Amino acid sequence: MTRTAKTPEEALGPRAQSLKWRVLRTRWRRQEPIWNNSFAYLAVTVMVAGLTVLLWIPRHLFEAVNIALLYLLPVLFSAVRWGLYPAFYAAVLGVLAFDYFFIPPIFSYSVSDLRYLVSFAVFLVVATLTAGLASSLQRQTREAQRRERITASLYGLSRQIAMVQNLHDVGQAIVHHVGQTFGVPVAMVLPDAEGRLVETSQTDSPPLGRPLNPSVLQWVYRHGTAVGYGGKHRPELLYMPLKTEDTVHGVLCLGEYGLDQPFSPEQRQIIESLCGLAAVSVARVTYETQARIAALTAESERLRTALLDSLSHELRTPVTAIMGAIGSLSDDQIPLSTEDQGELVSTIRDSVMRMNRLITNLLGMVRLESGLLRLNRRPCDVSDMIGVVVHQMRETLGSRPLSISVPDNLPPLVVDEVLLEQALVNVLSNAVKYSPNHSPIHISAIASHCSLRIEIRDFGMGIDREDKEKIFEKFYRSAKAQNVPGTGLGLAICQGIAQAHGGRVTATPASPQGTIFALELPWNPPPYEGEAP
Amino acid sequence: MTILIIDDEPQIRRVLRVMLQAQGYQTVEAATGADGLVFAFTAAPDCILLDISLPDLKGIDVLQSIRRQSDVPVIILTIHEEEQQKVRALDLGADDYVTKPFGARELMARIRVALRHRANTPSPSIVQVGPVTMDFERRMVERHGEAVRLTPIEYDLLRELASNLGRVLTHRHLLQQVWGDTTDATDAHYLRIYIGHLRKKIEDDPARPQLIITEPGVGYRMTEPE
């Protein structure tokens, strides 16, 4: 088997060796190495020396015990300030100075009274214990502060991305937050549909100085291991994998070589936590999107079947009627009375009108669904609009008693006149379809201070409680309406048009019989995204 | 009388030809805008039926080219949703439009009105539409024999509609004719209010107007009641 885990240096070839790309350990070294903190040891030395000088002058006033106690001060101080090892060093240095300068014989490490050896031992023990306690206390404080910073940072980020639904916004939020926290350029790279890594989001200021290294990106993405560039323990440029349990979702790149802003181990820890959270968020959004697409596909599959069923039936019926009528009319063998001919011609006309209605509704549905609907809103006169609808429907309405009551002096309603008329035509033809011939229909407009309500009441078969909402769903046909031809599109379109205007259509049973359809529209509609210029 | 049909659909052309010839018109057919333009200037048609959505030239461009050289009546064939296109065509000099699918009666009425309007006969001083009689010489309007009192603007509006009986008039046209050029042509609100007043005075049932018909998104048309 070939080695898959090539390091970035190997992946980049020998030329890249000089570049300081380094695979970073996942566990950060928390404590700096002892020898690294030379300043602390120097300071301890200076402190002990200073203390010795200070004590040397009034040395006759002090007992040896007092002096020994005072030598604990540098130990305590360095334990709090620099940690355990400088404190030990201070203790040892303190004992040596104490012995050399203050224990007779002076200026010698030899001890005249052996009891002093016990004192040294006690001093060392006390110093060590104090140093240990003080430094661990201090470490805990620092740890707590560090945790608090990480938590605050994570909380800030999680609050920003909790509500975001699409990948782009998540990317922007993460990049923005990380960039703001560390004051460095940040870029997030996510795979596209074909699995290629594409830079999704980046901070706009300051921009990443150089293009991201694609080989390193690929390597980090494939192995899920962080890579840094710069000093060994303080890299200036980080490529962090966005990794949940077993999947790498992308790469977060931050920093820029040459800005002299290396990341401290603590910062790297925060970055790692943030990357974890970012990975979870990216995963969440990705899975949500996939789930939504799956649900949509299933829904559109169902709709397509319903559409095909409904279309084949609704189109074939009038076509059959037309073909039959034309066959009879054009056949010389069949003697037809003028009356019969008229009957056949009106059959053709009715069928064609039915097909035309179906086409209008289908087109309306397609436009509503595809988001191509453009509202061309203008102030319209409500009574005029109802007049136009009734005029359009005059043949369907025939001789039905129709009453229209619209209050005088209604303010103009700002709507797309043509669309709203289509909605009203649909409701009205619905009322005609589901009520007996010659039964009356009432149209009335009722104005309240925030909305206008147009009611269309018929005296037909009424509506069941469970159908009240469902009849506005696409292709839904009520069980009791099965023998009335229809596609189940008209009311769905109505609802779509009403909603585009910030309103809605409702159906309620009327007493003693019939249905009231109410189209409710706000006088001041909220803006609609598909507004025509 | 010769009528030029410019439409790319052979079936539509065939139906139009049969319809028009049955009414005694002669027909010339063109399947493209370019052919249509040639026939418009060579066949000397008395009226042109122009499909607004042609495959080669845009119907609007054909209309503009015709209007640059000729005053022949042009009736646009269009579909329901394109009311902005209708307004544009009317503003560019089309006489009227019919919406696909249309009936023979509707088309014939439009053609008759367009031909009559272009014949340049002085409009009669007395016009009778349904129950309403308008005497423009004496500035008198009567409904069912009773005098109707109109404000000057209502009278001007009625006069403009009645002297274009059967033709659609756009909002802009009416505003310019009645209020003059000073009016903001986009403000159709005044117009709507005055049309409402006018309807209350001359229609039998203002909620179901029979004389002044609204063409949604386009304008108004005065017609004989059905």
Q: Is A389 left (phi over 0), alpha (psi -120 to 50) or beta?
A: alpha
ipTM > 0.85 (yes/no)? no
CATH code that applies to domain A370-522: 3.30.565.10
Backbone φ, ψ for residue A284 (5° rounding): -60, -50
Distance in angstroms (rounded) separating the CA atoms of residues A263 and A267: 6
Q: Is B188's Cβ below 8 Å from some Cβ in A? A: yes
- Same domain for B207 and B110: no
| CA-closest candidate to residue B66, choices B44, B97, B88, B98 | B44
Contact A376 B84 (CB under 8 A): yes
How far B197 CA lies from chain A's nearest CA (Å)?
10
Looking at chain A, the domain(s) classified CATH 3.30.565.10 span: 370-522
- Same domain for B52 and B148: no
Residues 6+ apart with CB under 8 A from B78: B52, B53, B85, B86, B89, B97, B98, B99, B100
- Same domain for B131 and B38: no
Q: Which residues in chain B land under pLDDT 50?
A: none
- Same domain for B130 and B114: no
Find chain A residues with C-beta within 8 A of B207's C-beta.
383, 386-387, 390, 404, 406
How far B208 CA lies from chain A's nearest CA (Å)?
5
Distance in angstroms (rounded) separating the CA atoms of residues A56 and A158: 60
- Same domain for B157 and B213: yes
pTM over cut 0.90: no
Let me know: does A185 contact A208? Beta carbons within 8 Å: yes
The conformation of residue B9, written as its DSSP 8-state character, comes to -
- Same domain for B84 and B132: no
Find chain B residues with C-beta within 8 A of A394's C-beta.
226
Contact A417 B196 (CB under 8 A): no
Last residue of a domain, one of B95, B118, B141: B118
Q: What's B141's domain CATH number?
A: 1.10.10.10
Find chain A residues with C-beta within 8 A of B206's C-beta.
383, 387
Let me know: does A177 contact A149? Beta carbons within 8 Å: no
Interval A217-243: pLDDT, tens: 888 888 888 888 877 677 888 888 988
Q: What is the bridge-based pairing of β-strands A235-243 and A248-255? A: antiparallel
Interval A401-425: pLDDT, tens: 999 999 988 888 888 888 898 899 9
What does the block give as tokens for A238?
């980080």
Let me know: does B58 contact B37? Beta carbons within 8 Å: no
Q: What's B27's domain CATH number?
A: 3.40.50.2300
Q: Which residue stretches of chain B are H helix? A: 10-22, 33-42, 59-69, 83-91, 104-118, 152-162, 171-179, 189-202
Residue A230 is which amino acid?
G
Of A378, A404, A417, the CB nearest to B207: A404
Beta-carbon contacts below 8 Å between A and B? 56
The domain of B183 spans 126-222
What does the block give as tokens for A165?
């639904």
Of A363, A387, A417, the CB nearest to B207: A387
The conformation of residue A375, written as its DSSP 8-state character, comes to B
Distance in angstroms (rounded) separating the CA atoms of residues A35 and A41: 9
| CA-closest candidate to residue A242, choices A288, A203, A270, A273 | A273
| Total domains in the fold of chain B | 2
Q: Which of B192, B213, B220, B221 to mutate to test the interface with A (most CBs of A within 10 A)?
A: B192
- Same domain for B131 and B97: no
Q: Walk along chain A (533 residues) and give the pLDDT tens digit of each residue.
A: 334 444 554 544 444 444 467 777 655 445 555 556 788 888 889 999 998 988 888 888 888 778 888 888 888 888 888 888 888 888 889 888 888 888 878 888 887 788 888 888 888 888 888 888 888 888 888 888 878 888 888 888 888 887 777 888 888 888 888 888 888 888 888 888 777 877 777 776 555 656 778 888 888 888 888 888 877 677 888 888 988 887 888 888 888 777 777 888 778 888 888 888 888 888 888 888 888 888 888 877 776 777 777 777 778 888 888 988 888 888 888 788 888 888 889 889 888 988 888 888 888 888 777 776 778 888 888 988 999 899 888 888 888 999 999 998 888 888 888 889 889 999 998 899 888 988 999 999 999 988 999 999 999 888 888 888 888 887 777 777 777 777 778 888 899 889 888 899 999 998 888 999 999 999 887 776 665 55
Residues 6+ apart with CB under 8 A from A400: A432, A437, A438, A439, A440, A441
How far B214 CA lies from chain A's nearest CA (Å)?
6
Taken in order A429, A430, A431, A432, the sign of the CA dihedral is positive
| CA-closest candidate to residue A411, choices A374, A382, A441 | A382
- Same domain for B98 and B134: no
Last residue of a domain, one of B118, B141, B160: B118
Last residue of a domain, one of B57, B91, B118: B118
- Same domain for B19 and B105: yes
- Same domain for B145 and B182: yes
Let me know: does A199 contact A276? Beta carbons within 8 Å: no
Let me know: does A51 contact A101? Beta carbons within 8 Å: no
CA dihedral A99, A105, A109, A110 (to 10 degrees): -120
- Same domain for B142 and B66: no
- Same domain for B134 and B69: no
Q: Is A224 left (phi over 0), alpha (psi -120 to 50) or beta?
A: left
Q: Is B84's Cβ below 8 Å from some Cβ in A? A: yes
Q: What is the pLDDT of residue A424?
A: 93
